[in-house]
Chain A
């Protein structure tokens, strides 16, 4: 489902975030992406979601080689990948409902469908009743959950989440992870970048550790001391 082959990413300012990444995430798999701050986790996710293109190597997502995708096919590609951003990326002057509805609106869903799905998504992140609130009037953790609702509202086959629990209390973090697990159980491929090793450990899922611009290890969650030593 997601494959990186010899991927390097150098940003315009010359900073090389990734030097040689090889990874594979099977269809329907759920994995964690870990590593120190600045290691390149977000960069990997941006390459998957086609917010960036690789400088070298190949990124293939859902059978599409993202480097060769024509510009006019990019929107359809992005609709198949739900993304939870580290910085939320909400429309600050639009109420919660509009924010969550956006992926459905751009996909020309009917108003009835939009209404139903937005409410369901808000329900799943515990924000039912906040439809008319502006993001600025929400706590950071609540904004994060709006971002999660937006990522899952159109039921994309691939879900990418960048620090989705970074601003949540332990109980909410556990709930969000449980939500991701449920989506994963119905076939969604999930990649979560996180610093929260406790969550990784609890999940028992595979984690990909990024270090020095490459994948330093692809380990089951048990082998934690190694990672903790790296922190």
Chain B
């Protein structure tokens, strides 16, 4: 009885009959798909937002640095030695030595107090080091340990953290990413529930058909198949909708973001969700739809039997 192509044929049959059912109830289908799409769009939107903010602030990492002011009277040669040993510490990207003379020259040029400075008989400024960590070693904890290390030198008078708001900002981004994962988990549950409920109603609507199919010898597996396909199709369409929602939103926001970036002199352009995100969404959406419909089918299908008892 079973021909060689029958496995493929029966799955194709189930797929087409599911697609047909969805197409025949366009309003209900659209509603479910939009709800799922929005649920999936939220984590994607957050992800895209976080990634864009990261990209936009990537050049901020250079803004994190530590200024080390040496005690007055420390010799310039000693200052250069200290700069070298700071440079050797792992995690340090660069160390700039600003000698007292350089500092005074800079101050003279920038402050407009040149004449007043001439009145001084000695340079009151100390030598200073500006220590810049590598981007990977810019976390608040790393910065703190670097600060302690530098402050422990006997020649050091004061240590000042510059741009630590960047570190805090990065920590905030990391928190946002974690929140995104949690939200995505809950929204995935929501998607499963939406599909499960839709399939439950569908099973109820098609009760007569299910009974007749079982009457003529259809197995639970056979009866379940089109519902699984329906759930998976919902998930697929939901994923597609989510991607479109985020992509369209970004297109609409693009010009505004570009203007904003320009006003800061940044070449930054808003990056939309790409093929990778589309693939992930379609895959996850389909998987969630499949799970939701499987749960509903397992719960409700076996109970439908043609007899009355």
Contacts and interface: CB of A to CB of B under 8 A. Distances in A.
Interface string B179-211: 000000000000000000000000000001101
Contacts of B13: 105
Contact of A102 (B2, B5, B213): B213
A89 B210 CA distance: 11
Contacts of A112: 3
A155 B215 CA distance: 16
A75 interface: yes
Contact of A110 (B5, B211, B212): B5
Given A110-B3, A111-B9, A52 B309 contact: yes
B160 interface: no
Interface residues of B, number: 26
B222 interface: yes
B77 to A, nearest CB: 90
Interface stretch (A76-84, A123-131, A207-215): A76-84
B307 A51 contact: yes
Contacts of A110: 2-6, 9
A103 B307 contact: no
Interface string A140-162: 00000000001000000000000
Contacts of B89: none
Which of B2, B3, B5, B217 gathers most chain A CB within 10 Å? B217
Contacts, number: 76
Interface string B9-24: 1100100000000000
B1 to A, nearest CB: 5
B308 interface: yes
B4 to A, nearest CB: 8
Contacts of B308: 11-12, 52
A92 B208 CA distance: 9
A202 interface: no
B126 to A, nearest CB: 87
Interface string B33-75: 0000000000000000000000000000000000000000000
A55 B3 CA distance: 40
Contacts of B212: 89-91, 102
A105 B7 CA distance: 11
A90 B7 CA distance: 25
A46 B217 contact: no
Given A52-B307, A52-B308, A106 B216 contact: yes
Nearest to B216: A103
B306 A105 contact: no
A113 interface: yes
A37 interface: no
B6 A106 contact: no
Given A12-B309, A107-B1, A110-B6, A79 B215 contact: no
Given A11-B308, A51-B307, A109-B2, A75 B9 contact: no
A169 interface: no
Interface string B273-299: 000000000000000000000000000
B214 A75 contact: yes
A11 B9 CA distance: 40
B306 to A, nearest CB: 5
A78 B215 CA distance: 7
A102 B208 CA distance: 14
A228 interface: no
Contacts of B3: 109-113
Nearest to A92: B208
A-B residue pairs, 7 tightest by C-beta: A110-B3, A79-B217, A106-B218, A78-B217, A103-B216, A51-B307, A108-B2
30 contacts: A12-B309, A46-B307, A49-B215, A51-B215, A52-B308, A75-B217, A75-B218, A78-B215, A79-B216, A83-B216, A89-B211, A89-B212, A91-B208, A91-B209, A91-B212, A106-B216, A107-B1, A107-B2, A108-B1, A108-B6, A110-B3, A110-B4, A110-B5, A110-B9, A111-B3, A111-B9, A112-B3, A113-B1, A113-B3, A150-B216
Interface of A: 11-12, 46, 49, 51-53, 72, 75-79, 83, 89-92, 102-103, 105-113, 150
